[in-house]
Amino acid sequence: MIILGGTNAQLLAKSVARKKKAKYLPLQVNKFPDGETKLRVPAVVKGKDVVIITSMYPNPDNAMIELIFAIKTAKRLGAKKVTIVAPYLAYMRQDKEFHSGECISARVMGELLSVADRVFAIDPHLHRIKKLKDVFKTNAKAITADPVLANYIKKTHKNAILIGPDWESSQWAAEIAKSIGLKSVILKKKRYTPTKVRIQITGDKSVFKGRDVVIVDDIISTGNTMIEPIKQLKKIGAKNITCIGVHGIFVKNALPRLRKLGVKVITTNTIPNKVSKIDVASVIAKVL
């Protein structure tokens, strides 16, 4: 097996290679003066099991071209099998035509990346599309960071209540809580625009008074899905609030906005950022 690290996941890819005792090389990716992507597979891959690991954030469009170029090149050079691992798989949220004429980006992205023989993605945003293999025309599987998140929460929050800010997040909040014997509460979210959400804490609010709470979601993007419940939980009297995201996108000033509220923020390293401290290398190594 040879592991090739793409622009957005070189440290993670190297760490996976160490765990697999596989050869690691970074993909060589540059730009031509006109902005086109120039890519080189820097290894002899003929007859090899090639794994390309790269996240699709930042610069999701560049990352997609990089993946397509890398897969096609490895195949042309005679690789036996080409697997891609997208720790963060972009475009999954545009999973329907919300307004007439819009591109269903999730499906197009899936078709384009199906030039690979196998695809793995960590906690892709599966909402209206239920399974990753519904967007790919190749062998595709979602893997979850739940075990490493559970491990982190177990070590740091012995008696917290886990909160999922919307029903989709129960696959992280409720599942993790169950696995480590904690209580979880799932909130109700209504999204008006990409930046405007309303979140409702239903049920008995007094359960949060004086308690440590951990809000768990797949993506922290503008941060608003976290900020809304944080404000309410502070009013109710929650003690310490921690926000955990699998994928920390943190657009614009999302991270300072969250920190200003006095909460701890931590994510996995599917997207490298200032708080990406929970390592998913073991989760990836396990499926390869």
- The token duo for 34 is 């006109």
CB of 20 to ligand R5P, least distance (A): 30
State how far the Cα of 51 lies from the Cα of 175, in Å rounded to an integer: 29
Longest pairwise C-alpha distance within the chain = 62
Is there a catalytic annotation at residue 234? no
CB of 95 to ligand R5P, least distance (A): 11
State how far the Cα of 168 lies from the Cα of 149, in Å rounded to an integer: 17
Estimate the crossing angle of helix 105-113 against helix 60-76, to 10 degrees.
20
* Closer residue to ligand R5P, CB minimum distance, 27 or 132: 132
CB of 75 to ligand R5P, least distance (A): 33
Using CB under 6 A as the criterion, what x/- string covers residues 158-177 for binding ligand R5P?
A: --------x-xx--------
In single-letter form, the type of residue at position 260 comes to K
Residue 42 preceded by cis peptide, ω within 30: no
Among 121, 186, 220, 243, binds ligand R5P (CB under 6 A): 220
| Region of 38-46, 73-81, 149-157, 214-222 interacting with ligand R5P (CB under 6 A) | 214-222
Binding of ligand R5P by 217 (CB under 6 A): yes
Residues ≥6 apart with Cβ < 8 Å to 63: 6, 7, 8, 54, 55, 56, 57, 90
CB of 11 to ligand R5P, least distance (A): 24
Q: Which candidate in 72, 130, 189, 196 is catalytic?
A: 189
Binding of ligand R5P by 223 (CB under 6 A): yes
Residue numbers of the site for ligand R5P (CB under 6 A)? Answer: 166, 168-169, 197, 217-225
